[in-house]
Amino acid sequence: MGKIKVVRCSDAGLDCSFVAHSESEEDLLNQVGKHAKEVHGMEINDELVAKVRSLIHEEEQVS
Ligand SMILES: [Zn+2]
């Protein structure tokens, strides 16, 4: 079992159950950016990207 990168919306302080998983940081940022815009109406800017990057952590992949 490998590790996978994970970002949880709740880790950003939002009351939201969205979780993004990816092996690629760029893909993860895309997923979270799309979610943040569509669900939370957030603008995707450098500040948001930096925040999302800071929330990325690795977990054991569960198949
Ligand atoms: Zn969310």
pLDDT digits (tens, 9 = 90+) for 21-36: 999 999 999 999 999 9
Pair 20, 14: CB distance under 8 Å: no
CA of 15 to the centre of ligand 1 (A): 7
- Domain with 22, as residue range(s), is 3-60
Q: Name the pLDDT band for 63 (thresholds 50, 70, 90).
A: low
CA of 37 to the centre of ligand 1 (A): 9
Domain count along the chain: 1
CA of 43 to the centre of ligand 1 (A): 13
CA of 17 to the centre of ligand 1 (A): 6
What is the model's pLDDT at position 12? 92
Q: Whose CA is closest to 8, among 44, 58, 45, 43? A: 58
Pair 6, 60: CB distance under 8 Å: no
What is the pTM assigned to this prediction?
Answer: 0.88
CA of 1 to the centre of ligand 1 (A): 27
pLDDT tens for each residue of 1-59? 789 999 999 999 999 999 999 999 999 999 999 999 999 999 999 999 999 999 999 99
